[in-house]
Amino acid sequence: MSCYQGPRLKKIRRLGALPGLTNKIPKPRSDHKSQLRSGKRSQYRIRLEEKQKLRFHYGLTERQLLRYVHIAGKAKGSTGRVLLQLLEMRLDNILFRLSMAPTIPGARQLINHRHILVNGCIVDIPSYHCKPIDIITTRDKQRSKALIQNSIKSSYHEALSNYLTIDSFRQKGLVNKIIDSKWIGLKINELLVVEYYSR
Domain residue extents for the chain: 8-86+183-198, 90-177
Give the model's confidence band at 142: pLDDT under 50 very low, under 70 low, under 90 confident, else very high: confident
pTM: 0.79
CA atoms within 13 A on the CB side of 63: 3
> Do the Cβ atoms of 111 and 124 come closer than 8 Å?
yes
- Is 90-177 in CATH node 3.40.50.300? no
Residue type, 10: K
Tell me the backbone φ, ψ of residue 167, rounded to 5 degrees. Answer: -110, 100
Which residues 6+ apart lie within 8 Å of 83 measured at CB? Answer: 68, 69, 72, 190, 193, 194
Give the model's confidence band at 33: pLDDT under 50 very low, under 70 low, under 90 confident, else very high: low
Q: What is the pLDDT of residues 58-68, one digit of tens each?
A: 888 899 999 99
Q: Which residues face 116 on adjacent strands? A: 138
Which option is the CATH number for 8-86+183-198: 1.10.357.10, 1.10.1050.10, 3.90.1150.10, 2.60.40.2470? 1.10.1050.10
Distance in angstroms (rounded) separating the CA atoms of residues 118 and 102? 19
CA proximity to 56, closest of 98, 87, 80: 87
Give the model's confidence band at 32: pLDDT under 50 very low, under 70 low, under 90 confident, else very high: very low
